Amino acid sequence: MRNVARRILRYRAALAVLVLAVALGGCAKGAPDAGPYHCPMHPTYVSDKPGDCPICGMRLVPIDKDSKGKEAVPAEGHSHGAAPATPAAPAAPAPAAATIWTCPMDPEVVSDKPGKCPKCGMDLEPKAAPAEGGVSGLAPVDTTAEGRRLAGIQTVPARQERLATTIRTVGSVVVDETRVRHVHTKIAGWVDRLFVDFTGQAVKKGRPLLAIYSQELLASQEEYLRAREAAARFAGSSLPEVRRGGEDLVTAARRRLELLDVPPGLLAAIERTGKPQRAVTLMAPSSGVVTAKQIFEGQQVEPGMELFTVTDLSHVWIEADVYENEAGRVRVGDSAALTLAYDPGRRRTGRVAFIAPTVSPETRTLKVRFEFDNADLALKPGMYANVELDLESADGVVVPDSAVMDTGARQVAFVEVDEGRFQPRRVRTGLRMDGRVQILEGLRAGERVAIRANFLLDSESRLRAALAPADAAAP
């Protein structure tokens, strides 16, 4: 029984070793190969016999051969024990004449001769020069069909199409400041009667707002009547100066009443009856809604006191925030479409009326004001509204934005120049819209670009570019 147990333990140990070898990307395709071995995590370490990696201690695995007889190198970045993400063949070593020098801290610094980095002062290191159309610090990547499947690499063709830019934002409805009127009194007195007695009441231009009793107004009416009587007596004088003096008195007295906001209808009533009116009615200066009311019946008022605020809501503003990277394409006069959350099927058309001259330091946005008609009063101040701006459109080569790797200093896409061979290509982008980006330089319509697993390709490409000088120097 003891011997049987030992055999079982040996069998299990052998099985565990086999499973580990398969997990490490070992020879699961048949008998062990007598060819060279390398470390899955450090492909630069190669041995002619099996064993352990002296760097990380992992088991060395045979170097697989693809269908073309090239040695496939797994992609950099997988964890210990994981299958290689992108089995690939090593890039051909660059010729000695095609060597450049770059800064190890800043790959964007490139020179055709050795020296010091002008930014950090470090010694420049030799690297293989990129092929025509390539990118400094990156090298082409050859992959197998199985490697692409394991890494999840997907490609799509670049297309020639029209790309339109649309800015979507959320704004709030505010009153049009040019349509707000304040009603004041120019005399001292008492509120005799209110015709508009609550906030929110709709008024029309020329309709009565309140009746006010004022001793000053009463005295001015008496003065006007006395001037009219005097002018009537002076009208029969043979002296032109006397007649003209009577007319001037009437004109001055009437002008005083008009300046005190006495309505023309009241003046006509005074002239018709010859009697002064105890209370003078003030009229609404414009149509709208009473948005503020500061008085009540019987209250004493003083000159300059604000009585009402009347706001015309038939035309409103929408104030929205636009990110600073989009604000540069917005122009005054651009057409805008508005929808409401409770009525998304109805679209209203307005225009950009004003763009703020400063950016908010807290939100890094720019305030943009839109004008919209509101004859049905559906847009109420304080409401939120969705605003869309259709800006310029352009024809060009368009790819998904996931195809472009933007490092800030440069933009790179991996182009499948041959089946399984991906070449890094520097590109220049334009408009972006709905997950798509316009390519201004670097791509042609019909070329296939990688849109998934770009970071794996980028890691493998950097590794191959870094190993190229060492491979070129090897005997």
Q: pLDDT tens, 332-389?
A: 988 899 998 888 888 999 999 999 999 998 989 999 999 999 998 999 999 999 999 8
Q: pLDDT tens, 441-464?
A: 889 899 999 999 888 888 888 888
Write out 158-209 in H/E/C secondary structure.
Answer: CEEEEEEEEEEEEEEEEECHHHEEEEECCCCEEEEEECCCCCCCEECCCCEE
| Residue 116: predicted pLDDT | 86
Region 280-291: what's the mean pLDDT?
Answer: 90
10 Å Cβ neighbour count for 253? 20
Q: pLDDT tens, 160-195?
A: 888 777 888 999 999 999 999 999 888 899 999 999
Q: Which contiguous run of DSSP H or E holds residue 92?
A: none
Q: How far apart are CA 175 and CA 291, in angstroms?
A: 10
Q: How far apart are CA 40 and CA 58, in angstroms?
A: 8
| Residue 76: predicted pLDDT | 37
| Residue 307: predicted pLDDT | 92
| Residue 25: predicted pLDDT | 42
Q: pLDDT tens, 309-334?
A: 999 999 999 999 998 878 878 889 88
**Beta-strand pair 99-102/110-111:** antiparallel
Q: CB–CB of 350/318 below 8 Å? A: yes
User: Tokens 């972006």 belong to which residue?
Assistant: 432
* Two tokens, residue 6: 């030992």
Q: pLDDT tens, 103-151?
A: 877 766 777 778 888 878 888 877 655 554 568 778 889 888 888 888 8
Please tell me whether residue 269 adopts helix, strand or coil conformation.
helix
Q: How far apart are CA 221 and CA 433, in angstroms?
A: 70
Inter-axis angle of helices 264-273 and 215-234, nearest 10: 50
* Residue 35 or 224, more confident: 224
User: Tokens 């109420």 belong to which residue?
Assistant: 380
Length of the chain: 475
Q: 365 CB contacts (<8 Å, ≥6 apart)?
A: 321, 322, 323, 324, 327, 359
pLDDT at 46 over 90: no
| Residue 264: predicted pLDDT | 86
Region 46-72: what's the mean pLDDT?
Answer: 68
Q: CB–CB of 90/55 below 8 Å? A: no
How would DSSP label each residue in 427-475? EEEEEEETTEEEEEES--TT-EEEEESHHHHHHHHHHHHHHHHHHHH--
**Beta-strand pair 343-359/365-373:** antiparallel
